[in-house]
Amino acid sequence: MAACWNFPGPTRLCLRQGDITTAPVDAIVNAANAGLAGGGGVDGAIHDAAGWRPLQQACQDIIHQRGPLHAGEAVITPGFALPAAWIIHTVGPIWRGGEHGEAAALRSCYLESLRLARERGARTVAFPAVSCGVYGYPVDQAAAVALAALAEGLQQAPGVDEAAMWLYADSALQTWTRAAVRLFGAPSP
């Protein structure tokens, strides 16, 4: 199932249900940790699907060059065994009640990921619900921040034709769809 909202030009924002590691896109976004060390949830699934050893080597090369990432930052590696050519790793904020810059950091995750996708020529990008797992960001609040950031990024800087949120659970898809309808109205036909 997919719902999409069209923006000026060829750009659109979609919500899709499924496994992000199988997304037929140019780049997928990974909800990574600061050390790019792999982990559970979507991060572990992406590492498993891409090939743990080559992806981990690429991630550790980045960490050795620049040090750990801060919340809101993003870096890029090849996609290795994934259908996607690129993996964009972004570190989401840990939810601490909403008064510690979490929304700004989460917004930055999406905008920085779009920027890296554009730089590599990726026309289609799949995003997970960054920070909504073990980092504890409330899903309804994260959806509003993420969708607004993606709409802004798609409209202000062309290059990416489609940004899609890939949501695994039906309940997550329903929450994100409600947020998108509040922000953008009914999906495009």
Domain ranges for the chain? 2-184
Contact 71, 93 (CB under 8 A): yes
- Choose, from 43, 140, 161, 170, the residue flagged as catalytic: 43
Whole-Å CA distances, 110 to 54, 105, 114, 170: 25, 9, 6, 22
Using 70 as the pLDDT threshold, list the residues of the chain that sit under it. 1
- pLDDT tens digits for 124-167? 999 999 999 999 999 999 999 999 999 999 988 789 999 999 99
Active site residue 161: no
| pTM: predicted TM-score of the whole model, two decimal places | 0.97
Straight-line distance from the first to the last Cα atom of the chain, in angstroms, rounded to the nearest whole number: 14
Per-residue pLDDT at 1: 66
Longest distance between any two alpha carbons in the chain, whole Å? 47
Domain at 2-184: CATH code? 3.40.220.10
Query: Judging by beta carbons within 10 Å of its beta carbon (0-12, 13-18, 19+), is residue 138 exposed, middle or buried?
Result: middle
